[in-house]
Structure 1
Amino acid sequence: MATIKPFKAVRPFPEKAQDVAALPYDVYNRKEAAAAARGKLDSFLRVDRPETTLDDRIKINDPLVYETARKNLEKLFYRNALTQDTKDCLYIYELIMDGRSQIGLVVCTAIDEYLDNTIKKHELTRADKEADRIKHVDACDANTGPIFLTYRGQESINVIVDQWRKENAPVYDFVSDDGITHRAWVIDDDSIINGLRDQFKQVESLYIADGHHRSASAVKVSLMRREANPNYTGEEEFNYFLSVLFPDEQLYIMDYNRVVKDLNGLTVDEFLKALSEKFTIEERGAEAVKPDKKGSFGLYLDDKWYLLTVKEGVYDADDPVNSLDVAILQNNVLVPVLGIGDIRTDERIDFVGGIRGLKELERRVHDDMMLAFAMHPTSIDELMNIADADLLMPPKSTWFEPKLRSGLFIHKLS
């Protein structure tokens, strides 16, 4: 049973929504974030990445950074960019990319359901990234970035959501700079809210699609608040965190590609020979290779593209984790051949979302890396099956598009 809770969202005035809405904090490095926020006084990136408004010499985890996040959030109220609803509501959030729509419910979900695994995970988190968001959430006293959750879709939920959209005008309707249409509706009718809450009681599990660090950090802040308030009832806002729930059939997972800095001391010929033990190799020259099926990979090396196809018997097709393409590459190339130690922390490897295209892989190889792997996307069924089995996917297995915008809905913890 999944619990959804209405809440009094902090959100932009309609005329300010496009100016406030920002891509998630973790899609940028510091330089990119600073450039994206420059001159945009209402951008929520100034809250999510407050170091963009500070001197470059200030370290990203300096206490001043988190104090600045709190102040920048307050400034959005002073600038009449944000307001807070006076009634507990649910919200509908639609994103349209390339004519394809996905429609989610903006709700609060229970930290206890994260802890008891009703909300299922599929990735490990890094302590340093958790620590950053814990300090950020605590300083802002708010969940500033929504957790992207999915569930096995139910037509009864879709009917209620679609009917509300049909009968009510959106409060937001704009196109962001990357061409994504964003629309939002406020559900303020208690009978509809209660109907949706009842429907979600029939949903067995929720799955984290994107936002493992945000969710883990939100839960840890909630546990800190519980410890500081031993007489808590469980109804306080800090017992819940901000989420957007999408039915699984609407989601689109893109490839999440890899770039590597060197060949681990091998020559190009030695590296290709090592690959040939597990993969068939077809040289494609300047023709970029975008894998179109499981078990195939594009390799860009020495200004040439290659199609790699895994040989039979290299992996167990019945193993839900090790049969993933990201695991096949990790277990047979990245670790044993290229000597990548910890995929999550090794500085010799980086990850490139498929939204940036194969040209970005070529650019990175010409700029600061030596080789790139183009991946076939992981499927939503693979993600759910692994989470259901209480297993973990390799890091950076999925890249979801379009990205939810931060700043459109904020959940105050007190």
Structure 2
Amino acid sequence: MAKIIPFKAVRPTRAIVGLVAARPYQSYTVDERESRMDYNPYSFLHIVNPGYKYHKAIHGEERYKLVRNRYLEFKEDGVFIQDEKPSLYVYKIVNRHGQEFNGIIAATSAEDYEQNIIKKHEDTIAKREQTFKTYLQTVGFNAEPVLLTYPDNDIIASIIKETQKNYAEFEFTMTYRDTHYLWKLDNEKAINQVQNEFDKMKTIYIADGHHRSASSFLLYEDEKNKNTNHNGSESYNFFMSYLIPESDLVIHEFNRLIKDLNGLTKETFLIKLDYLFRITNRGSIPYTPSKPHHFSMYLDGEFYSLYLRKKRYKFNTALDQLDAELLYKTILQPILGIHNLRNDNRIEYVNGRHEMITIKSSVDSGEFKIGFGMCPATIKQIKNIADEGLKMPPKSTYILPKLRSGITIYEF
């Protein structure tokens, strides 16, 4: 029952796609952004940061209008061209660690989002949703797909594999040494087969892009209510997504760094921990947990393992089983006094691609007092939480692949 449709993507030309493609705007430091824009006139950053042209920071709707102008200039200059025929796009990423991701870029249904066929597992911030909705309405395009995942499907996998035997429309490597490939799938029979397989799926899941999908849904509601001739086929009924099978997802954890012990001495803190955890001092050797409900802790120059005393903690929901929630409910909130994981400036997050030595360095520097490591969530946990209508704490997962902006663009 999940609906996907082909669309006429706006794409960079083959010769310069590697120059156009960019990471999400917020992932760059100011110096990185300016350096890339100084030396690369084709970077998509020029579109999303139009104030660069005037050496001035521009905000709000004035910025959105200039984003629209820069985008149209890229089209007028032939940097972007639009496909003549609606297509699905087979997309492959091979990162520097040899991890491979294969999926399909398509337009997915805002109505499916509304009806919970596209399921969520993270909370969104209403203000950010509204801000991005206004942005979308003004600029008229979506340049970064939402990452969705679906149960492994042999028919879809075979169509992807068969398509990849053809000459790729794009093949380029980014400075992060990720190599990207894109094939256009415009064969109607193959498109219908893919659509039929998705139509059999009761649910698919958002892996990354909760705010983008929520904002696209708000755009759909606005435009539908304004259009007296609405029929469901308009472009605003859909948003661009990259759909990959569950087995291709790579899920890392986010580890936690805390700036103080909430006024407690080290000894008092450890005594409070002992009620719910079996604590073992591991000395100076970095310890990484290998099982759910086991945690690593670094404090005062030493690593500790924390094993949950399960007889003293009840698991009532799928969310209770999640280590990020467990750490919050047993240590961060009741002992360290951190109630708002999103806004408390005493906590910071380090994605699990970095080893525990990063936690050690951050604490040893004196910037933080204590650090915690955990095991990553599984796709099964994420799905169970979404199926129960629950939401994970902020920074519970760091999910790969990370997508680039400006490679395929969906116009409203």
TM-score, normalising length: structure 2: 0.92
Q: What is the letter of the counterpart of residue 2 of structure 1?
A: A
Give 1:178 deviation, angstroms. Answer: 1.7
Offset at residue 26 of structure 1 (A): 4.8
Residue-by-residue CA offset, 1:46-80 (whole Å, 9 max, x unaligned): 44465777767x47x53333233323323433453
- Indicate whether 1:7 and 2:10 are aligned: no
CA–CA separation in structure 2 for the residues paired with 1:320 and 1:76: 47
Counterpart of 2:24? Answer: 24
Task: Pick closer, same or farther for the CA change 1:288–1:388 going to 2, 3 Å.
Answer: same
1:51, 1:65 within 8 Å by CA — same for their partners in 2? yes
Work out the CA distance in 2 between the residues paired with 1:49 and 1:351. 27
CA drift at 1:269: 2.6
* Alignment-derived partner of residue 400 in structure 2: 401
Q: Decide whether aligned partners of structure 1 residues 236 and 181 sit closer, same or farther in structure 2, where only a CA change above 3 A counts.
A: same
Match of 2:240 among 239, 242, 251: 242
Matches within 5 A, 1:91-240: 91-97=89-95, 98-166=97-165, 168-240=166-238
Tell me the amino acid that sits aligned with residue 6 of structure 1. Answer: P
CA distance 1:244–1:302, change in 2 (3 Å): same
In 2: Cα distance, 1:53 partner to 1:364 partner: 38
CA deviations over 1:238-263 (Å, ceiling 9, x no partner): 11001011111121101212222322
Within the candidate set 236, 240, 249, 1:251 is matched to: 249
Output the CA distance in 2 between the equivalents of 1:227 and 1:297: 49
1:316-368 Cα deviation digits (max 9, x unpaired): 34631111111110101111111112222222222222234434434544374
The Cα shift of 1:34 comes to: 5.1
Q: Which residue of the partner structure matches residue 85 of structure 2?
A: 87
Change (3 A) 1:201 1:69: same
Is contact 1:152-1:248 (8 Å) kept?
A: yes
Q: Which moved more, 1:152-161 or 1:283-292?
A: 283-292
Q: Secondary structure at the match of 2:326?
A: helix
Can you give the 5+ residue segments of structure 2 that lack an aligned partner in the other structure?
Answer: none
Which stretch shifts more, 157-166 or 131-140?
131-140
- Check the 8 A contact 1:263/1:370 in 2, yes or no: yes
Instruction: Name the CA shift for 1:136/1:206 in 2 (closer, same or farther; >3 Å).
Output: same
Instruction: Note if contact 2:155-2:197 (Cα within 8 Å) is conserved in structure 1.
Output: yes
Q: Deviations over 1:103-151 (max 9, x none)?
A: 1110001100000000001111012322332232222111122100001
CA 1:40/1:150 → structure 2, altered by over 3 Å: closer, same or farther? same
Secondary structure of 1:313's counterpart equals: helix
Q: Tell me by how many angstroms 1:286 deviates.
A: 3.4
Quick check: 387-396 or 205-214, which moved more? 387-396
Counterpart of 2:107 in 1: which secondary structure?
strand
- Out of 223-232 and 111-120, give the one that drifted further: 223-232
What is the root-mean-square deviation in Å for CA atoms of aligned residues? 2.3
Aligned residues of 2:90 and 2:163 also touching (Cα < 8 A): no
Which stretch of the first structure deviates more once superposed, 350-359 or 340-349? 350-359
| CA displacement at 1:315 relative to structure 2 | 3.0
Call closer, same or farther: CA 1:54–1:275 in 2, change over 3 Å: farther
What's the % identity of the aligned pairs? 35
C-alpha distance in 1 between matches for 2:370 and 2:122:
25
Q: SS in structure 1 opposite 2:240?
A: strand
Query: What residue ranges of structure 1 are gaps of 5+ in the alignment?
Result: none
Q: Is this contact kept in 1: 2:318–2:381, CA < 8 A?
A: yes
Shift of 1:99: 2.2
TM-score by length of 1: 0.91
Report the alpha carbon displacement of residue 208 of structure 1 after superposing the two structures with TM: 0.3
Q: Could you tell me how far 1:226 is from its partner in structure 2?
A: 1.7
**Structure 2: distance between partners of 1:41 and 1:273:** 59
Q: Partners of 2:313 and 2:46 in 1: how far apart?
A: 46
- The 3 A distance-change label for structure 1 pair 228 and 340 is same
